[in-house]
Amino acid sequence: MTDHPSSSAHSARGRSRRKEARPAELLEAATRLFVEKGYAATKVEEVAALAQVSKGTLFLYYPSKQALLKAVVRENIAGRFAEWQAELEAFAGTTPELVRYAFQVWQERIGDTYAGGICKLMASECCNFPELASFYLEEVVEPGNALVRRILERGVARGELRPLDLDAAIHLITTPMFAYIHWRHSIGMLYPQSLGVSAPLFFQTHVDNLLRGLSATAPDV
């Protein structure tokens, strides 16, 4: 008995859609396992099994575990900088409003997601994998710092922020973000209340103090 032509066509379309979805499914599985188990401890066989494909199929899309991790980083973080740059260019409010918005977006899209776990993962394992450290520095850290620098330069140019050492100011902004990530994706996973305050209040307090210190009207110390 042969398949009806329409049934065969429907089956072929289903296989095609399934094939197109595989890269995203593999990246989703890899992201979860890398964050939960670490890079070194995760086996590609586990990623393939979670994505419900064979190990050979995984290697058709990503030829090594290192290539898989790079794809995970690009999918979750590095590949989004163009989107964030466009948001910065289109933002019509004041720079203090932009800073508050940026922290809110970062918390929603990175800090409280598996993407934040990737940041912690790279920080904890990069010394054992120098090539990955170089990759992460080039595709995430440097573009991230450049984006923060543009926000600060915008504020200074508009007279909303006082002239300041931009290199130092970048760290004023980003260091609490990294501290939150490390808490959120370590002890915070087991004890969510251990931060002592809600995450929105943590960042609201940080941004309030940050903007007071950077304001063009702040008194000299």
Tens-digit pLDDT profile for residues 185-200: 989 989 989 999 999 9
**pTM for the model:** 0.84
Q: What is the mean pLDDT of the chain?
A: 89
Q: What is the pLDDT of residue 124?
A: 87
Average of pLDDT values for 55-71? 95
Q: What is the pLDDT of residue 18?
A: 60
Question: Does residue 161 sit in helix, strand or coil?
Answer: strand
Average of pLDDT values for 162-169? 94
Average of pLDDT values for 10-29? 70
Average of pLDDT values for 109-122? 90
Residue 219, pLDDT > 80, answer no
Residue 98, pLDDT > 90, answer yes
Amino acid identity at 175: T
Average of pLDDT values for 44-53? 95
Q: Minimal CA–CA distance to 67: which of 131, 3, 118, 152?
A: 131
**Which ranges of the chain would DSSP assign to H, the alpha helix?**
5-37, 44-50, 55-61, 65-76, 81-90, 95-106, 114-125, 130-136, 142-157, 166-184, 187-190, 199-214
pLDDT over 70 percentage in the chain? 89
Q: What is the pLDDT of residue 77?
A: 93
Confidence of residue 4 (pLDDT cuts 50, 70, 90): low
Sequence-distant (6+) residues with CB within 8 A of 211 are 96, 99
Q: Minimal CA–CA distance to 193: which of 32, 201, 115, 204?
A: 201
Residue 9, pLDDT > 50, answer no
Q: How many other β-carbons are positioned within 10 Å of the β-carbon of residue 189?
A: 13
pLDDT digits (tens, 9 = 90+) for 133-164: 999 999 999 999 999 999 999 999 999 999 99
